[in-house]
């Protein structure tokens, strides 16, 4: 769900080689809060869009890659001297996963107000189901304050934050207590008469 107002220190347009490194450097070296906007579905840029048969780089693979991850530079084994597009895209997706580069951009692609001409108030105001808003009490990407703004736009919704220091990683099992809290809230939601 898209937050109503969020501030960033830096905006990066594009998640190709350049944007990926830009995000990494701004976030990890300078400690900035960064958002990346990418028109494609994933990282890769040139290597996401150009999928015609035979598309490959013409620089040798050992220099056509990121040099800031020294360990990966040693470990990654290219199958060819001039790899084809699928292999380069696979490499970029691997780098994105390894350095958590996707988290900064992928969430902004879910646009709940696309059927109401971008009007979030109108979109959320149409919800008739009983709704619990359950943000993690601390989360870099979905701060409770953003969720509160959305909560106020949903008729009859309840705000039930999950107490955890693990952010949304708690949902992947990092915090078993958070899972129990969720179970409890969901149990109550399911028991609600409609
Ligand atoms: C077949 C082929 C072979 C190549 N071989 C080599 C090579 O061997 N060596 C070499 O150095 N270079 C090569 N290149 C050049 C290659 O483009 C660059 O090396 C590199 O991938 C460029 O990365 P980038 O991040 O700067 O830009 P891109 O990879 O072009 O990424 C830009 C991204 O920005 C996104 N974007 C742009 N505007 C917006 C917007 N307004 N909103 C949202 N998203 C937006 C695009 O969707 C795109 O994903 C090759 C290119 C091709 C096509």
H or E stretch at 132:
strand 132-133
Give 181's contacts (C-beta < 8 A, 6+ positions apart): 162, 163, 164
Give 63's contacts (C-beta < 8 A, 6+ positions apart): none
The residue contributing the CA closest to ligand 1 atom 41 is 13
User: Alpha-carbon torsion 72, 73, 75, 79, what sign?
Assistant: positive
Question: What's the confidence (pLDDT) of residue 2?
Answer: 45
What is the spatial distance between Cα 24 and Cα 100, in angstroms, rounded to a whole number? 9
The span from the first CA to the last CA of the chain, in angstroms, equals 24
Mutate to test the pocket of ligand 1, among 16, 25, 43, 83 (most ligand atoms within 8 A of CB): 16
Tokens in use for 131?
A: 């709704």
* Averaged pLDDT, 29-43: 86
Q: Are the C-beta atoms of residues 103 and 97 closer than 8 Å to each other?
A: no
Residue 111: band (very low, low, confident or very high) from pLDDT cuts 50, 70, 90: low
Average pLDDT, the chain: 87
Question: What's the confidence (pLDDT) of residue 3?
Answer: 46
Residue 171: band (very low, low, confident or very high) from pLDDT cuts 50, 70, 90: confident
Mutate to test the pocket of ligand 1, among 11, 15, 20, 45 (most ligand atoms within 8 A of CB): 45
Expressed in angstroms and rounded, the spacing between residue 47 Cα and the centre of ligand 1 is 7
Question: What's the confidence (pLDDT) of residue 23?
Answer: 93
Question: What's the confidence (pLDDT) of residue 106?
Answer: 53
Percent of the chain beyond pLDDT 90? 52
Is 6 a residue whose pLDDT tops 70? no
Question: What's the confidence (pLDDT) of residue 1?
Answer: 41
Question: What's the confidence (pLDDT) of residue 64?
Answer: 93
Backbone angles phi, psi at 89, to 5 degrees: -65, -40
Chain segment 45-104, per-residue pLDDT in tens: 999 999 999 999 999 999 899 989 999 999 999 999 999 999 999 999 999 999 989 866
Residue 108: band (very low, low, confident or very high) from pLDDT cuts 50, 70, 90: low
Q: Are the C-beta atoms of residues 6 and 142 closer than 8 Å to each other?
A: no
Burial 112-140 (b: 16+ CB within 10 A, else e): eeeeeeeebeebbeeeeebbbbbbbbbbe
Can you give the residue ranges of every domain in the chain? 10-107, 114-191
């Amino acid at each position: 769900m898209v937050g109503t107002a969020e501030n960033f220190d830096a905006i990066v347009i594009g998640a190709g080689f350049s944007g990926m490194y830009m995000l990494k450097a701004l976030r990890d070296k300078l400690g900035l809060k960064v958002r990346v906007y990418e028109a494609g579905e994933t990282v890769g840029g040139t290597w996401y869009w150009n999928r015609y048969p035979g598309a490959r780089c013409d620089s040798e693979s050992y220099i056509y890659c990121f040099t800031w991850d020294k360990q990966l530079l040693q470990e990654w084994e290219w199958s060819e001297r001039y790899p084809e597009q699928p292999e380069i895209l696979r490499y970029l997706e691997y780098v994105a996963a390894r350095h958590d580069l996707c988290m900064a951009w992928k969430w902004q692609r879910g646009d709940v107000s696309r059927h109401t001409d971008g009007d979030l108030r109108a979109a959320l105001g149409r919800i008739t189901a009983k709704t619990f808003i359950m943000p993690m009490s601390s989360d870099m990407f979905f701060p409770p304050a953003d969720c509160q703004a959305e909560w106020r736009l949903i008729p009859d919704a309840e705000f039930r934050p999950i107490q955890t220091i693990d952010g949304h990683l708690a949902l992947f099992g990092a915090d078993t207590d958070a899972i129990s809290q969720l179970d409890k809230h969901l149990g109550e939601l399911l028991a609600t008469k409609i």
